[in-house]
């Protein structure tokens, strides 16, 4: 019998971008945080479509969240690492989800790489200007930047993404129905 295989996966998007989140401007920090939240939502939708419902306990045990720029995907169920779609290889379901996340994380990094570099150049310029500016001038520029951030707003939340994924999953043919359609000679043993 194989060893238990709960899943504990972490990916540091900040490290992928080569930046410490505290070094970014508040605006860019918020943009990247929102993009990571969207990435997690997309991953959850993929989870709904990919994870077999034959393993309902392992499906409901998934946790996905971010702390700063670090994303954690976790499933404490002992056999989670071995879950597979009908007719698939052992662990194929997790492999599919991990690959989906990795591709999406790479796309996110590619999207923000130029903005991070630009933010670094601007912050170096701001630091140089801060030395020459007085404290009052610096305070007024911070207030102006904060008011611009409020005016700019943020991307609407994706609260319904899980609902969309569930509705798509309910419209799809279940894994059991697909298996019955493909091979009627097999018998199912529980």
Q: Which residue has the tokens 């305070």?
A: 139
Residue 136, token pair as written in the block? 């009052």
pLDDT digits 0-9 by tens, 164-173: 665 566 666 5
Highest mean pLDDT among 17-21, 70-74, 142-146, 175-179: 70-74
Q: For residues 176 and 82, give the distance between their C-alpha atoms in angstroms, rounded to a whole number.
A: 18
β-bridge mates for residue 64, sequence order: 73
Q: For residues 118 and 172, give the distance between their C-alpha atoms in angstroms, rounded to a whole number.
A: 44
Confidence of residue 7 (pLDDT cuts 50, 70, 90): very high
Q: In three state form, how does the secondary structure of 108-170 look? A: HHHHHHHHHHHHHHHHHHHHHHHHHCCHHHHHHHHHHHHHHHHHHCCCCCCCCHHHHHHHHHH
> Would you list the domain boundaries of the chain?
7-182
| This prediction's pTM | 0.62
Q: For residues 119 and 27, give the distance between their C-alpha atoms in angstroms, rounded to a whole number.
A: 10
pLDDT digits 0-9 by tens, 135-146: 555 556 555 555
Inter-residue contact 66 to 32 (CB < 8 Å): no
β-bridge mates for residue 65, sequence order: 72
Q: For residues 44 and 50, give the distance between their C-alpha atoms in angstroms, rounded to a whole number.
A: 10
């Amino acid at each position: 019998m194989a060893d238990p295989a709960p899943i504990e996966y972490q990916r540091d998007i900040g490290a992928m971008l080569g930046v410490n989140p505290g070094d970014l401007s508040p605006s860019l920090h918020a943009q990247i945080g929102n993009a990571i939240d969207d990435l997690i939502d997309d991953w959850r939708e993929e989870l709904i479509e990919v994870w077999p419902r034959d393993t309902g306990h392992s499906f409901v045990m998934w946790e996905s969240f971010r702390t700063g720029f670090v994303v954690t995907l976790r499933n404490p169920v002992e056999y989670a690492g071995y879950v597979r779609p009908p007719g698939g290889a052992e662990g194929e379901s997790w492999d599919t989800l991990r690959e989906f996340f990795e591709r999406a994380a790479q796309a996110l990094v590619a999207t923000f790489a130029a903005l991070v570099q630009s933010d670094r150049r601007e912050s170096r310029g701001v630091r140089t200007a801060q030395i020459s500016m007085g404290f009052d001038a610096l305070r007024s520029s911070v207030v102006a930047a904060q008011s611009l951030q409020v005016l700019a707003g943020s991307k609407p939340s994706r609260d319904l993404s899980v609902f969309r994924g569930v509705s798509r999953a309910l419209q799809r043919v279940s894994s059991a129905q697909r298996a019955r359609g493909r091979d009627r000679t097999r018998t199912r043993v529980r």
